[in-house]
Amino acid sequence: MNNSLYIAATGMQAQQQDLDTIANNLTNLSTPAYKASNVNFQELMYTDPLGARPVQGVPGHAHAKSHHTHAAENTAELSEQPATAYGSGVSVGSITKDFSVGTITQTGAPMDVAIQGSGFIEVTMPDGTLAYTRGGRFGVSKDNYLTSPQGNEIKPSIRLPANPTSITIAPNGLVTATAGSSTQPVQVGQIELANFNNPGALNPIGNGLYLPTDASGRASYGKPGDNSNGTLAQGAVEGSNVNMVNQMVSLMVAQRAYEMSAKVVQTSDELMSMTNNLRRS
């Protein structure tokens, strides 16, 4: 395939994925505890056309860079490229999550809990898999266990008394409740928070749930407020951290980049058509 067509096609594919990601961010502008996704682009392998081989010092898929920033090129690697070397296009290197804390909104509902700072609540999926969430609109299972907004039991398990008259969740995660005619609160459990070395590498599986990956590292656990853990705010919900203005700007940039790549495809096609006509004449 003509190099200009192929390189432009990689640009269109990468920008399309960026557009899809931005659209998903905007769709979740009002989703509680939603975390914005960011697309990171990377250059494909450089090639020396005279040697017909990849260029030494520039292995494929190096120079990952975000479309929000302009990373400086590594001059040591560039110096190893022959003067005739050309790139092979661009691809999506990764899609990462921005885990900055969203706006905390007071709701007054006792089962609403926002995490102020870093940390995740561990839950057990129906198949036994451990997942992690920041969504704090708790529920209660039929067996009176505290559950996540998706209905998954939180870990460590916390069982509430039947028909509780009040539930209190302290900033440090201590859960107390009263039931029946008693006015004396009883401790029923302790909410723990999980943290990761690289939370941006967690794998989102939908509904505000995440799974750990090799890149994210294993979860470490602790009480809210301990070490680098955030604290809990009862009667509040964390909002989405999507910045609408930034996303709209990114949308326009991605649209124009897609259009420019499409224009390269069109121009390359016109040039090849002109070449064919010249050969006929």
**Do residue 234 and residue 247 come from a single domain?**
no
Residue tagged 């991605």 (tokens): 254
**Do residue 136 and residue 93 come from a single domain?**
no
**pTM for this entry:** 0.78
Three-state SS at 266:
helix
Q: Give per-residue pLDDT as tens, 204-245.
A: 998 899 999 999 999 999 999 998 899 999 999 999 999 999
Distance CA 173, CA 187 (A): 11
The answer on pLDDT for 3 being more than 90 is: no
**Do residue 55 and residue 126 come from a single domain?**
no
Look at the chain and report how many structural domains it folds into: 2
Distance CA 35, CA 227 (A): 23
Q: What is the CA radius of gyration of the chain?
A: 26
For residue 79, how many other CB atoms are within 10 A of its CB? 8
Band (pLDDT 50/70/90 cuts) for residue 80 is: low
**Do residue 81 and residue 111 come from a single domain?**
no
Q: Give per-residue pLDDT as tens, 35-53.
A: 999 999 998 877 766 655 5
Name the helix (H) or strand (E) containing 161: none
Tell me the average pLDDT across 78-91. 67
Question: What does the block give as tokens for 266?
Answer: 């069109």
Q: Give per-residue pLDDT as tens, 60-77.
A: 444 444 444 444 444 444
pLDDT for 89 equals 87
Contacts of residue 182, defined as CB under 8 A and 6 or more positions apart, other chains included, come to: none
**Do residue 114 and residue 208 come from a single domain?**
yes
**Do residue 20 and residue 68 come from a single domain?**
yes
**Do residue 152 and residue 89 come from a single domain?**
no
Three-state SS at 23:
helix
**Summary mean pLDDT of the chain:** 86
Question: What does the block give as tokens for 203?
Answer: 């794998």
Range of the domain at 66: 3-99+243-280
Quickly list H helices, the chain: 3-27, 75-78, 244-280
**Do residue 125 and residue 232 come from a single domain?**
yes
**Do residue 232 and residue 254 come from a single domain?**
no
Preceding amide of 156 cis, omega within 30: yes
**Do residue 77 and residue 113 come from a single domain?**
no
Per residue, the 3-state secondary structure of 61-117, as one string, reads: CCCEEECCCCCCCCHHHHCCCCCCCECCCEEEEEEEECCCCCCEEECCCCCEEEEEC
The answer on pLDDT for 4 being more than 90 is: no
**Do residue 9 and residue 120 come from a single domain?**
no
Phi, psi of 139 (to 5 degrees): -130, -175
**Do residue 84 and residue 145 come from a single domain?**
no
